[in-house]
């Protein structure tokens, strides 16, 4: 079966129909949540602190919802307009940018506390036009990302390479851009559960180890623990939001922002006449 990146460029493959189909698929949602949770583990963020994160290839905001549940503020970039339109319809919390990551980023140096990316990096390995050179696009991507991250910090990419040569090309471009770190492989002996992560570091840090052992017991128990923790958070949020039933528009947004401030979440936007105004994708 052909891989999506071999069929069409991402902005073409993820059109209106595919974007909604992808977002509404329960299996996709579960897998995305598991990989996002693992990426957050590998980031090794300070416990209990809200961080400012970049979601690279954010799509319709499935990973962003996990970041939000963990109390983080995030910015999402994606090349597919249809995916971002679905994210806007779902009223995700992150700020969204239409961006070809192969052209690099324009963020100020040291903007983000970390970055994650789920199932995106392999798209940069394809030359979708005569002007596309995978090594050049990877170099531009990693160089500008390195600049946008604080020191110390990390960027974690879950990706699906086609060969060892692709892994080598990616790691070489990342190292030349100034990153340390390397590849982390979870469950290397399991064909079904095997996942590959590129864990990049700004500043001197130790590379984490991949998960191994009994996948059925280890990963199942881990997922159950994470799900229970998220359930507790949702229950706590519902209790604090008691009385919001029937609220719509600006009233609901103001109530939610008050909840974030109560949690101690940083960088909650100030209330203004623009609060709850529908956002557009930023070009």
Domains and CATH numbers, the chain: 4-214 (3.40.50.150)
108: closest CA among 149, 140, 74?
149
What is the pLDDT, as a whole number, of residue 258?
Answer: 76
Model pLDDT, residue 207? 87
Structure-derived torsion over alpha carbons of residues 179, 182, 184, 189, reported in degrees to the nearest 10: 160
What are the two backbone dihedrals, phi and then psi, of residue 79, each rounded to the nearest 5 degrees?
Answer: -90, -10
Preceding amide of 184 cis, omega within 30 = no
b/e 29-39 (16+ beta carbons within 10 angstroms → b): eeebbbbbbbb
Q: Tell me the C-alpha distance between 280 and 161, whole Å.
A: 33
Nearest to 72 by CA among 112, 99, 29: 112
Give the chain's radius of gyration (CA, Å). 19
Predicted pLDDT at 269: 76
- The structure tokens listed for 23 are 């977002």
pLDDT recorded at residue 241: 47
Q: Which residues of the chain have pLDDT under 50?
A: 216, 234, 238, 241, 244-245
- DSSP summary character for residue 207: P
């Amino acid at each position: 079966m052909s891989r999506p990146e071999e069929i069409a460029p991402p902005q073409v493959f993820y059109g209106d129909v595919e974007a909604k189909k992808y977002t509404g698929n329960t299996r996709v949602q579960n897998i995305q949540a598991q990989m996002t949770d693992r990426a957050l583990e590998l980031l090794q963020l300070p416990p209990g602190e809200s961080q400012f994160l970049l979601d690279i290839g954010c799509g319709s905001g499935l990973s962003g919802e996990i970041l939000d549940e963990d109390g983080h503020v995030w910015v999402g970039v994606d090349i597919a307009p249809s995916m971002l339109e679905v994210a806007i319809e779902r009223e995700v919390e992150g700020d969204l940018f239409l961006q070809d990551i192969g052209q690099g980023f324009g963020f100020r140096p040291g903007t983000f506390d970390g970055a994650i990316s789920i199932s995106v990096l392999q798209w940069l390995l394809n030359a979708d036009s005569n002007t596309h050179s995978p090594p050049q696009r990877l170099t531009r991507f990693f160089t500008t990302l390195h600049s946008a991250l604080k020191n110390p910090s990390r960027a974690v990419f879950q990706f699906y390479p086609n060969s060892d040569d692709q892994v080598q090309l990616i790691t070489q471009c990342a190292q030349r851009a100034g990153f340390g770190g390397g590849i982390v492989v979870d469950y290397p002996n399991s064909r079904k559960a095997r996942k590959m992560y590129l864990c990049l570091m700004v500043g001197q840090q130790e590379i984490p180890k991949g998960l191994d052992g009994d996948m059925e017991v280890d990963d199942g128990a881990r997922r159950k623990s994470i799900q229970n923790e998220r359930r507790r958070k949702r229950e706590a949020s519902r209790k604090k939001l008691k009385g919001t039933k029937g609220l719509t528009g600006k009233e609901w947004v103001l109530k939610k922002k008050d909840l974030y401030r109560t949690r101690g979440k940083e960088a909650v936007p100030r209330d203004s006449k623009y609060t709850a105004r529908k956002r557009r994708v930023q070009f």
